[in-house]
Structure 1
Amino acid sequence: MLEKNRPILVTGAKGFVGKNLCLALRARGYETVLEYDMGKTEEDLKAYARDAQFVFHLAGVNRPKDPKEFYDGNSDLTTHLTELLLEAGNRAPILLTSSAQVGNGSDYGKSKALAEDTVFGYERHAHTKVYVYRMPGLFGKWCRPNYNSVVATFCHNIAHDLPIEVRDPGFELPLVYIDDVIDCFIAAMEGNPLTDPLQPAYCAIAPIYHTTLGELSEKIRGFHESRSTLAVPDLTAGGFEKKLYSTYLSYLEPKEGFRYPLVMHGDDRGSFTEFLRTPERGQVSVNISKPGITKGNHWHSTKNEKYLVVSGKANIRFRLPDSDVIYDYHVSGEKLEVVDIPVGYTHCITNEGDCDLVTVMWVNECFDAEHPDTFALPVEEKQPPFSF
């Protein structure tokens, strides 16, 4: 039974997965996370191996100058870690990150295979549990670009207006998102691993997303262009595009890349500025009106809108085209209320305060200049209005 006040060891703690994992563990209440990485000493590792109730062994080497370093940093380090655990009389379970490249004949694949053999041997000898993951491609925040992740490279380069190279647009990529990886890792530590149905000795990560280099590059380019198109990607919960968009945003340059201008259409009445556009969920805009100004006086056949006054005071008025009855709603930023603008009602909004009126407007259809669906018709008060 895990205790949240007892230490958990994470090797490779400063790497992409390690950094995300350490923060997630602390966020979930695990009080002591022992971070082992470059800069730590042999004595540190001995002490960590003695005290840890669980070990996430993420450390490894994948791009050395000398192939021998594959074995030093992957298989030999794993052997050394298990020896230190056994010497300390600690039978803590181990979660090992291996690679899908095991079996491809490379030194990297061979060194990872040896590391797997070591932890499976430790499992038998120590009568404990080990969890081995052969990792597919990863993506998510804090992954190093121009290194091992094509997603990180594409996101970084496109966000910084740098070129990318797509040699084979049809090349298929299986990808897993870092937050899903962390969820699966912590679930395994807490006794609920997801077993790989094709290789029962190994653990699996879900969901796995399948895309191609061409599709990936086009999606990320679309994110980059969305600041001018105002388009919002598909943000369906759990979807690949939602997670990819979150990843892309993490590569923006903090000083200048976090902000971008919008096009304000202004005149002596105020201004109108589009904010977001999506074909599935319509358009959001910000309307500013000077004191005494009335805007609108038109109706729509298929468009419906929602008005939210966030600053100032307004009178929003409605009338059916074939009726004398006028309805008005007095709203203000002091009490936030949404006013629906149904189809078929001519409507207008008047600033009845002494400062600028700021209204957030949502419409179910993005504006199309060729099919504006906007028909001029004044809202004229022909009899006392019904007030609400």
Structure 2
Amino acid sequence: MIRVGITGQAGFIGQHLYNFLGTKAEQVSRSDFQRDMFDNPEALTDWVASCDVIVHIAAMNRHEDPQVIYDTNVGLVQKLIDACKSAAVTPKIIFSSSTQEEQDNLYGQSKRDGRQLLETWAQEEGGSVTSLLIPNVFGPFGKPFYNSFIATFCHLLNTGGAPEVHQDAEVSLIYVNALVAHFYAAIISEESGVVFKAIEAPYKAKVTEVLQKLEHFKTSYVEQGQVPDISQAFDIDLFNTFTSYIPKDYFPRKFVKHTDNRGAFVEIMRAGTSGQSSYSTTVPGITRGNHYHTRKVERFAVISGKASIKLRKVNTDKVYEYILDGSEPAYVDMPIWYTHNITNIGDEELITLFWINEPYDPADPDTYFESVD
């Protein structure tokens, strides 16, 4: 069992890595990091002593004064080194650097100089440092106007704003799920000493191309209720990023119900991509689910009976609840990294239709069990 700690655990990349490691409980345990530890030398010293591996992600990305960015980031590295020396430990340190090391700006310089400080420490103290040179990262839950232009575009499109392209450059991109897999590989790697790796960007796209895709998602999915074509890896990664910014009060979405003397007709699903459809019956008082997905797109449609659908983002406390009644058929889509369930709260059998964008694969189910409540 490898004891892993993550500085910047609550940040964009940090929270994704922390949650990913939660799916690897047989291989790693997590030593929780608190924001104020860098201001408390004793607490930081105790924390580094509790870790076999430290992933150093904490950093300042933006500030009106670039010198503050430089001083902050290099200062955090120095505090981490000082804590290791104080505790007389040499945990393996994985350093999150940036392709901006190669650019002439103080953020990039802070990453380069911080990496070099850690490499010197490793050489002098007999430690191990793996530095990962990371391209532009995007994914769910990024902070708009801070983490990436994609986060900003998604936020604006889902809150009535109008994204603007100031420079239509081609950008190298990596999805956060792919990035944390690289971190995990470094965590379990037996490589020692000073290691430097440049992470290849799986995607390259112009800013306008990304915006066009996101605008299409808004039109087809948000406005028309249709899942777009997400058969390509880049498209589903962008789609799962986009949907994470949709306000939670967007659901449930009522279907259009057509009724005549023969009965009723409801169109359940229209999609520009392949998937798997199924249905379940649930007796009163029974709950199904209590699991989450990290990549799958899933829809719950209640067509008969009364249901409570609950969602909770992994490692948070807030629970969202939706009440659906088959007399007014409606659906709720399950966001990734939200554990979810459905309960029959009525007096009759509950009938639910399910759609998911990929068939169930027992060898790679992308299904992790965790109670909502």
Instruction: Please say if residues 96 and 130 of structure 1, whose CA atoms lie closer than 8 Å, have aligned partners that are also in contact.
Output: yes
SS at structure 2 position matched to 1:162: coil
The residue identity in structure 1 corresponding to 2:11 is G
Answer with 82-91 or 131-140: which moved more: 82-91
Superimposed CA distance per residue, residues 280-306 of structure 1 (whole angstroms, 9 cap, x where no aligned partner): 64998x9xxxxxxxxxxxxxxxxxxxx
Superimposed CA distance per residue, residues 255-282 of structure 1 (whole angstroms, 9 cap, x where no aligned partner): x223333333332322323233345649
Structure having greater relative contact order (Cα 8 Å, sep ≥ 6): 2
Q: Which runs of 5+ in 1 are unaligned?
A: 194-199, 287-309, 313-354, 363-388
Name the counterpart of 1:126.
125
* 4+ aligned runs moved over 4 Å, structure 1: 279-284, 358-362
Give the CA deviation at 1:359. 11
2:275 counterpart of 1:246 = no
The residue identity in structure 2 corresponding to 1:178 is V
Q: Distance in 2 between matches of 1:167 and 1:65?
A: 19
Superimposed CA distance per residue, residues 221-275 of structure 1 (whole angstroms, 9 cap, x where no aligned partner): 11112234443233337x0111111111111111x22333333333232232323
Name the counterpart of 2:263.
270
Partner residue of 1:217 out of 194, 197, 211: 211
TM-score normalised over the length of structure 2: 0.67
Name the counterpart of 1:13.
9
SS at structure 1 position matched to 2:265: strand
Q: Distance in 2 between matches of 1:167 and 1:112?
A: 26
The residue identity in structure 2 corresponding to 1:90 is V
Give the CA deviation at 1:20. 1.4
Q: Distance in 2 between matches of 1:361 and 1:191?
A: 39
User: How many equivalent residue pairs?
Assistant: 283
SS at structure 2 position matched to 1:277: coil
Alignment of 1:329-368 (within 5 A): none
RMSD: 3.3
Give the CA deviation at 1:65. 3.9
Superimposed CA distance per residue, residues 169-219 of structure 1 (whole angstroms, 9 cap, x where no aligned partner): x421111111111111011110078xxxxxx95224456211111111111
TM-score normalised over the length of structure 1: 0.65
SS at structure 2 position matched to 1:138: strand
Instruction: Please say if residues 156 and 162 of structure 2, whose CA atoms lie closer than 8 Å, have aligned partners that are also in contact.
Output: yes
Instruction: Please say if residues 95 and 131 of structure 2, whose CA atoms lie closer than 8 Å, have aligned partners that are also in contact.
Output: yes
Name the counterpart of 1:318.
none
Question: Among the aligned pairs, what percent are the same residue?
Answer: 28
SS at structure 1 position matched to 2:259: strand
Assess, with a 3 A threshold, how the Cα gap between structure 1 residues 218 and 270 changes in structure 2: closer, same or farther. farther
SS at structure 1 position matched to 2:197: coil
Give the CA deviation at 1:116. 1.2
Alignment of 1:238-387 (within 5 A): 239-254=233-248, 256-279=249-272, 281=274
Q: Distance in 2 between matches of 1:142 and 1:132?
A: 25
Name the counterpart of 1:231.
226
Q: Distance in 2 between matches of 1:58 and 1:253?
A: 28
Name the counterpart of 2:182.
184
Name the counterpart of 1:344.
none
Partner residue of 2:23 out of 2, 27, 37: 27
Assess, with a 3 A threshold, how the Cα gap between structure 1 residues 206 and 114 changes in structure 2: closer, same or farther. closer
The residue identity in structure 1 corresponding to 2:94 is L
Instruction: Please say if residues 135 and 200 of structure 2, whose CA atoms lie closer than 8 Å, have aligned partners that are also in contact.
Output: no
Superimposed CA distance per residue, residues 297-337 of structure 1 (whole angstroms, 9 cap, x where no aligned partner): xxxxxxxxxxxxx979xxxxxxxxxxxxxxxxxxxxxxxxx
Assess, with a 3 A threshold, how the Cα gap between structure 1 residues 60 and 114 changes in structure 2: closer, same or farther. same
The residue identity in structure 2 corresponding to 1:74 is N
Name the counterpart of 1:96.
95
Give the CA deviation at 1:124. 1.6
SS at structure 1 position matched to 2:61: coil
